[in-house]
Structure 1
């Protein structure tokens, strides 16, 4: 879809304005009812979103319709192309970029963008838990706070950020923790980086970002490596692991507890790890995978000795993105293991 630019005329004096580019990808924030059954779909443009928000007159805002999709339909190729646009905006001297999208995948898209994005210009992802025509729609307030963050010099060099409910999160830490609550996003391991209060950005600590960990693919349309997740559960025999070496380029195991699987999984995982990179993460989503505490068959010591790669504190979904990005860059298993060690 070609980019469409809709400049928003602001009334503030030129010396008070900072330039903010809004890249609209769709999602609940852009959804309105389109059927008699009352369901919503993304229909609003980036210009529609921006013009509906009082308070953006402090900035010189340009809106582009980059995609118009539900969050569940975004792909890694979309985010690679988005990151190319972010780096172009950085070169153009834009002060900050806001990305609006669906919250279903926001924690993943922002994380992937953070892996690739090498600039210092603030990049802020935001969305909404309630559609634009719902009572108490949260999209306008989230968009305003995101723009205030993107325009703030304090956000320079902080990596990709996520702003919802006036909280500022690092993309690599944030998680969606509730299916419907407007306060769905949290950083359970670190807490928020800061808050937007009375329009001002207040950062509480430095995220110590890993700048541009992975080289950005030149061709966004190239087919990404096939990487997937298999989740361990009590009594599972691991039947879904059978033959995956013929279907996948890499695998993430969402393990029990601190990195454990049923002993019935061990032979299949051992064989898989000789064919493709297999990353060991925890299905819990908070806390690291251990490396040296338990030693029973199927424990973290056992599995790491069999060639699996520890995900550190990355949850399975973000571990999958890091593994896929490494494979897309042509990394071999030792380089992949080192990348997870560095990121952890």
Structure 2
């Protein structure tokens, strides 16, 4: 199932830049190894957008379509999309996908008209992974550069390298060795968020930076139904943020995550104003091992599914 992205991009002429043009059938045709394999692949063009333009609703529609097809007997799903937002879309699909059929998200860092285009190799690796019996029951994964990543840990860590994806907090859960998927670890399936979404919600992400006076936090109280803070270290913010965050937490769920992208927020180590103990005492919710981007996705999905405050806290507690 294609949504667009670099793998599907081509240029209309010199100097015009590339845009999504190739369909799912075109992409499969670029991988001759698949035509002679035992994997029965069906192609579906779901969207034709760059990764940066995909929306929460696009992913909810995709998860619904996957559920429909799994109910009809399809054994697994490959989602090919732009890499800009894979770390967020894959995690959202992991939260929304209820079935046992594996979902593998992949893409390309080099478009089809560049030397060394990686889209065909990534599509082949994704197909081999999704067709592997050991992939069942693992939810959504990301396969890039012959590495298999859990959706909750994967991050895009380089702007342009073909080896842009890694899982800093845990490492890959498997590799493709001589074309065969080899899993080395199992990640428990996450708390699932049931569709359909029943309300709209906005969740800004505000990152703490040195010397920030926090004035922009006030705007979030009027323009969001939830808030995620990318905090320093294990969950710290400037002292002058504390009163505004406490006020925000009285009217909406406020989650703090570590802006470092690896490791976990703490719960009981530091005690100064703006520390993790202080924020928890003031009603904020710790994101645990989720980075700020994934914490925002989880909170946004929970709010749109109309989950209550206790349910939101329980969902984050698993991490």
Give the alignment's TM-score, normalised by structure 2.
0.97
- Aligned-residue offset at 1:95: 1.9
Q: Equivalent residue for 1:313?
A: 289
Other-structure match for 1:103: 83
Q: Deviations over 1:80-109 (max 9, x none)?
A: 000011111211211211000000000100
Residue 119 of structure 1 pairs with residue 95 of structure 2: no
Identify which of 243, 252, 260 aligns with 1:276: 252
Any idea what SS the aligned residue of 2:195 has?
Answer: coil
Q: Is the Cα contact below 8 Å between 1:76 and 1:224 reproduced in 2?
A: no
Q: Determine if the alignment matches structure 1 residue 33 to structure 2 residue 11.
A: yes
Q: Is the 8 A contact 1:224 1:324 kept in 2?
A: no
**1:60 to partner: Cα distance:** 1.8
Note if contact 1:194-1:205 (Cα within 8 Å) is conserved in structure 2. yes
Q: Which runs of 4+ in 1 moved over 2 A?
A: none
| Alignment of 1:69 onto 2:45 | no
Q: Deviations over 1:237-293 (max 9, x none)?
A: 001101322210000000111111111111111111111110011111111011111
Q: Give distance in 1, aligned partners of 2:12 and 2:310.
A: 50
RMSD value over aligned CA atoms? 1.2
Matched, 1:248 2:227: no
The residue number in structure 2 matching 1:229 is 205
Kindly tell me the number of residue pairs found equivalent between the two proteins. Answer: 317
Shift of residue 214 of structure 1?
1.3
SS in 2 for 1:60: coil
> Partner of 2:110: helix, strand, or coil?
coil
- Who is 2:127 aligned against? 147
- Which stretch of structure 1 is more off in the superposition, 327-336 or 78-87? 327-336
Q: Give 1:172's aligned residue.
A: 152
Deviations 1:47-104 (A, max 9, x none): 1000111211212211111000000000000000000111112112112110000000
Shift of 1:224: 3.0
Q: Deviations over 1:170-228 (max 9, x none)?
A: 11111111001101111111111111122211111112223x6111216xxx6631111
Contact 1:251–1:278 (CA under 8 A) maintained in structure 2: yes
1:138 to 106, 118, 127: 118
Is the 8 Å Cα contact of residues 31 and 40 (structure 1) preserved in structure 2? yes
Which segment is superposed worse, 107-116 or 90-99? 90-99
**C-alpha distance in 2 between matches for 1:61 and 1:337:** 40
Q: Name the CA distance, whole Å, in 2 between partners of 1:101 and 1:282.
A: 27
Is residue 47 from structure 1 mapped to residue 45 from structure 2 by the alignment?
Answer: no
**Structure 2 unmatched ranges of 5 or more:** none
